[in-house]
């Protein structure tokens, strides 16, 4: 059997660990042949496929990003996309795919599976918003990076007695903001799941200044003020219909300055959250996902996604995993209310 491997959507730490475990187990235990698809679905549209073997994946476990490249390509937004995908797979005699991606990449995989293409999905995203799995790899690393940034920002905020607004990733879900905000001792945490009251935010900032404390506000990029709309710098859409989020942190800092008459600055962590070497947990989870994904290929259990439930790796239908985003439970957000609200 020949298996293709692709990584789609935004890069994140742990992608190479999945590729490595899929190839190593597939070759050593099942005698499979492998090819890597360059730049996600784009590689199947452009017939850009490279050989993969054990030597190709040697030494990549601690590397961030993906050796295969990635893109936010939606094959169904391109002319004859389905036919071109089929033609590339047939030209390279690929029998099945291991598709590593987030909500959009796996959503495309779900439709391709319905069209008869044999594939198995592996969930990845730093946002941790793929349904059906307790965690996605990449999330733990991102939380660690953001927490370290908040730790550093505390000292400069205190030195100048100014409020610092930290904008982090999180389009639909506030998992990074919540986890890193709590771990970093933030005073206000704003997430997409709950529209915020700017007056309450400013009141909390004022109270911190009154006790000679420089406040830290952590805001997910998709957070929205009550009776308002999402703050955007760029209205353009990608191939999955998403806008490029940015601007809420800058807007918040301006509002805080105007309403409290205190200095407020913005730090947008952006792509630094996705870069660098994966944490030990993400290497562990990504490796397990890869091992179980290639088992599913061996067993012909296609149209499924591997997922973490507790400490077990399970399989579930791709359609169930991509039907909706996994958002922060309101009770979990409220649990920490005394610390920041």
Which pLDDT value is given to residue 36? 98
Instruction: Count helices and strands (H / E) in the chain.
Output: 12, 11
In this structure, the strands spanning 33-37 and 49-52 are antiparallel
Same-domain pairing of 15 and 128: yes
Q: Which domain holds residue 264?
A: 140-275
Do the domain assignments include residue 328? no
Query: Are residues 106 and 228 located together in one domain of the fold?
Result: no
Give me the number of domains the chain comprises: 2
Round to whole Å and give the CA distance between 165 and 216.
6
Out of 11, 39, 118, 127, which one is annotated catalytic?
A: 127
CB-based contact 306:315 (threshold 8 Å) = yes
Check residue 220 and give left, alpha or beta (phi > 0: left; psi -120 to 50: alpha): beta
Q: Is 208 part of any domain?
A: yes
Binding-site residues, in ranges, read 10, 103, 125-127, 162, 169-171, 221, 265, 271-274
The CATH code of the domain that includes 202 is: 3.40.50.460
Q: Are residues 201 and 294 in the same domain?
A: no
Q: Do residue 228 and residue 288 come from a single domain?
A: no
| Averaged pLDDT in 10-residue chunks for the chain of 341 residues | 97 97 98 98 98 97 97 95 97 98 95 97 96 96 98 94 96 94 95 93 93 94 83 66 77 95 95 95 98 98 98 95 87 67 41
Please give the model's pTM, rounded to 2 decimal places: 0.93
Q: Is residue 67 part of a domain?
A: yes
* Annotated binding-site positions for Mg(2+): 103
Domain match, 13 and 125 both: yes
Rounded to the nearest 5°, which phi and psi values hold at 26? -60, -40
pLDDT value of residue 56: 97
Binding residues for substrate: 125-127, 162, 169-171, 221, 265, 271-274
Confirm whether 330 is domain-assigned: no
pLDDT digits (tens, 9 = 90+) for 226-256: 977 666 666 666 777 666 677 899 999 999 9
333 falls within a domain? no
Instruction: Please say if 127 is a catalytic residue.
Output: yes
Residues 20 and 116 in one domain: yes
Inside any domain, residue 70: yes
Q: What is the pLDDT of residue 338?
A: 41
Cα–Cα distance list, 249 to 104, 165, 255 (Å): 25, 6, 10
Question: Do 263 and 314 lie in a common domain?
Answer: no
- Using one digit for the tens of pLDDT, what is the confidence trace for 202-230? 999 999 999 989 999 999 999 999 977 66
| Domain-located, residue 339 | no
Q: Which of 166, 315, 169 is nearest to 249 (CA)?
A: 166
Q: Is residue 188 part of a domain?
A: yes
The CATH number of the domain where 282 resides is what?
3.40.50.450
Residue 171 sits in the same domain as residue 299:
no
pLDDT at 32: 98
């Amino acid at each position: 059997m020949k298996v293709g491997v692709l990584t789609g959507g935004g890069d994140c730490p742990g992608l190479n660990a999945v590729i490595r475990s899929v190839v190593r187990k597939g070759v050593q235990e099942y005698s499979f042949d492998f090819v890597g698809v360059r730049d996600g679905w784009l590689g199947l549209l452009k017939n850009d496929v490279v050989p993969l073997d054990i030597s190709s994946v040697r030494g990549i476990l601690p590397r961030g990003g993906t050796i295969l490249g990635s893109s936010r390509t939606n094959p169904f937004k391109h002319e004859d996309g389905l036919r071109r995908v089929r033609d590339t797979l047939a030209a390279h005699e690929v029998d099945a795919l291991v598709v590593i991606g987030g909500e959009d990449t796996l959503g495309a995989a779900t439709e391709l599976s319905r069209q008869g293409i044999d594939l198995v999905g592996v969930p990845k995203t730093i946002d941790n918003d793929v349904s059906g799995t307790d965690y996605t790899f990449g999330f733990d690393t991102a939380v660690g990076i953001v927490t370290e940034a908040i730790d550093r920002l505390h000292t400069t905020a205190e030195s100048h007695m100014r409020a610092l607004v930290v904008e982090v990733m999180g389009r639909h879900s506030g998992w990074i903001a919540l986890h890193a905000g709590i771990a970093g001792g933030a005073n206000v945490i704003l997430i997409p799941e709950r529209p915020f009251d700017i007056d309450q935010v400013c009141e909390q900032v004022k109270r911190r200044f009154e006790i000679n404390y420089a406040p830290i506000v952590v805001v997910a990029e998709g957070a929205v003020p009550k009776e308002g709309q999402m703050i955007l710098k760029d209205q353009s859409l990608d191939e999955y219909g998403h806008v490029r989020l940015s601007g809420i942190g800058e807007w918040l800092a301006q509002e805080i300055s105007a309403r409290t008459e205190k200095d407020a600055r913005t730090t947008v962590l952006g792509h630094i959250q996705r870069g660098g070497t994966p944490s030990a947990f993400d290497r562990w989870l990504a490796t397990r996902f890869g091992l179980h994904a290639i088992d599913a290929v061996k067993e012909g259990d296609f149209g499924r996604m591997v997922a973490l439930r507790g400490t077990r790796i399970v399989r579930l239908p791709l359609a169930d995993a991509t039907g909706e985003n996994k958002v922060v439970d309101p009770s979990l957000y409220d649990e920490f209310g005394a610390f920041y609200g």
